[in-house]
Amino acid sequence: MSLIVFSLMMSAQPMEKPKNNPLVEPWNTPFNTPPFEEIKEEHYLPAFQYAFAVAKDELYRIKAVKMKPTFANTVEALDRSGRLLNSISGIFFNLLEANTSEGMQKIAQEISPALTAFYNDLYLDPALFNRVKAVYENPGDLTPEQKMLLEKTYKAFVRQGANLSDSDKEKFRDYSMRLSTLSLQFGQNVLSAVNAYTKVITDEKLVSGIPASALAIARDKAAAKGEKGWLFDLSMPSCLAILTYADNRDLRHEFYMQYNTRAYKGEFDNQEVVKEIVLLRDSLAKLLGYSTYADYVLEDRMAENPKKVYELEEKLLKHAYPKGKEEMKKLQQFANAQGFQGKLQRWDFAYYSEKYKTSLFNVNDEMLKPYFKLESVIDGVFGLATDLFGLKFVPNDQIQVYHPDVKVYEVYREGKFMAVLYLDFHPRESKRGGAWMTAFREQSVDADGNDIRPLVSLVMNFTPSTADAPSLLTFNEVRTFMHEFGHSLHGMLSEVHYTALSGTSVPRDFVELPSQLLENWSTEKEFLSKFAYHYQTHELIPDTLVQKIHDFENFQSGYACCRQLTFGLLDMMWHTCDPTKVSDVLAAERKAIKRTELLPVVEGTCISTCFSHIFSGGYAAGYYGYKWAEVLDADAFSLFKEKGVYNKEVAESYRRNILSKGGSEKAMDLYVRFRGREPKIDALLERSGLK
């Protein structure tokens, strides 16, 4: 039977537990971690079916309570329901992103709509909503955290259609079901488009300029496929090596076009998917009484409405665009002095920027990489967490992993077990691009008062090791690691009672504060001197190189800001426009980002069809959050700079007032309690050289 039909027809009686299925059995594993080595693809569907039945029964029992609705028997009970379903979903969907297969993708096509149907049943159930509403209207004496859970639960029901008429509830079901399918399709199309292109090069002249380290990786990739020469693909380390270093301009052009036409036209075209997603989101928002989907999303964010988002983006663009124009003028002059003729194109930008940066600061990634051996960077990042927050990391190779590349650590603070941390660093065909933090289990306190600690995972796509050298990270990869590790601190240090408020369960424009704040230490001498030793000579990174890192920190900051605003404005356009008037995805895109363009437009390229953040990654009408949180992180780090970047009192205040609180209080209240006031934009403008 189809899972979709199954979840809708299911009675309140739980079905028989599937036999010999590790997903539904108690786990005799360290810290109750998933037994990945025992889990097979054929286990997922039966496990989901059983978990749906168990969760449905739990909801039935909440509705069947004869006593009047209270926080404990309704709101708290709802938060604690569905734990088996959440556990299985956490494993399946995390692996779908990090270690997928055709079989997993087929299962996802059935599971995703079934989950949507289940949650529609939950939030559109009038009996459940009436109980929640009764508590909301007469809450009684609650703690601040309980009040927040009650408010969040009530709003979730309302925002998921609980107040709609029966006929509109059916429309809501249809829209949300279709959106779940389309979002999945979008992501799978992007991954398929990435994996569809590789290029084997045997002519040594074509790889002129590409560093030996990148060539070694490409050589190993070719050998793994039974090819001679060098194999390059669209994974970030591989593609970026071409765009940044290849002297052959035609090769750079080819890779630029391949990367920037992912899922645009051809076999994996996402154009119609984009249009339908935007139309359905708009229809859903209007059904709920909102003018646009952005209004719907932003209602419970720090920004509150599209007007405030646009105000921030306009203010930043006013500072960034003139600086970006001047930066492009200087880059053009530099390229011309190097013998380049004509106007710089986008496939020239990274190539000449790297050369220009080297000429200005006498430093480049190849000079820095020997000091950033992956294992040393891990030690440095862990050491920072130890110095700031008292964390201790203990490797454990007895905890099962979903891929041999994954490393696992137990995390402690003041002798207390805090979390299990999984680290997954390198690209592979089964992993989508980018870098992200996720969790196999969130922190919470169970009904018996036991503190359930989280299982946190960081997934990245960093430069791998070769037969000749260990994994040596670029400085940007070091910052990316610190960014994602900042998210993991939010999860690992959570000290709340309820899953819905745990760790990173905060407004999207607040969630990037911990990640972006931690990036600030990456340029601090005090931090780098603790771990950045040359992997061959064991020499500590020289003060001159550290100073150069500081010097180039704002190199082309105007361009970088405009690039982020490009994505932010494009996102807002898609979620404030009238989608019935959008017939051409590319034309709508070009109009939205015209004012941020600093280089000539390249015909045939498209951002929207591979913009996974907003069409399959949860950042719809929320990409601005990176810049919003940048205001917060610059303002927050200014306090560390004032008191000392390793100041224990500031670090403890940050841990206590923000990292440990999750979403248990309003984001601005938490920030003000830490900083002593609301954030100001001045620190960001000054740090970025835009003031």
Active centre residues (catalytic): 484
Any idea how long the chain is?
A: 691
The CA R_g of the chain, rounded to the nearest whole Å, is 25
Amino acid (1-letter code) at residue 320: A
Sheet holding 436-441, edge to edge: 391-395, 407-413, 416-424, 455-459, 436-441
Tell me the Ramachandran region of residue 113: left when phi exceeds 0, alpha when psi lies from -120 to 50, beta otherwise.
alpha
SS3 sequence of 324-374: HHHHHHHHHHHHHHCCCCCCCCHHHHHHHHHHHHHHHHCCCHHHHHHHCEH
* Sign of torsion over alpha carbons 7, 9, 12, 16: negative
CB count, 10 Å around CB of 672? 14
Paired tokens of 348:
């020239």
Paired tokens of 416:
């207390």
Q: Cα(77)–Cα(80) distance, rounded to whole angstroms?
A: 5
DSSP code of 472? B
Nearest to 84 by CA among 5, 142, 14, 179: 14
> Which string of DSSP letters, residue by residue, matches 628-683?
HHHHHHHHHHHHHHHH-TT-HHHHHHHIIIIITTTTSS-HHHHHHHHHSS---SHH
> Which string of DSSP letters, residue by residue, matches 228-255?
SSEEEESSHHHHHHHHHH-S-HHHHHHH
> How far is the CA of 6 from the CAs of 177, 320, 382, 608, in angstroms?
15, 53, 46, 35
Q: Cα(634)–Cα(691) distance, rounded to whole angstroms?
A: 13
Contact between 277 and 571 (Cβ < 8 Å) = no
Q: Cα(72)–Cα(135) distance, rounded to whole angstroms?
A: 10
Contact between 553 and 686 (Cβ < 8 Å) = no
- Distance in Å from the first CA to the final CA of the chain: 62
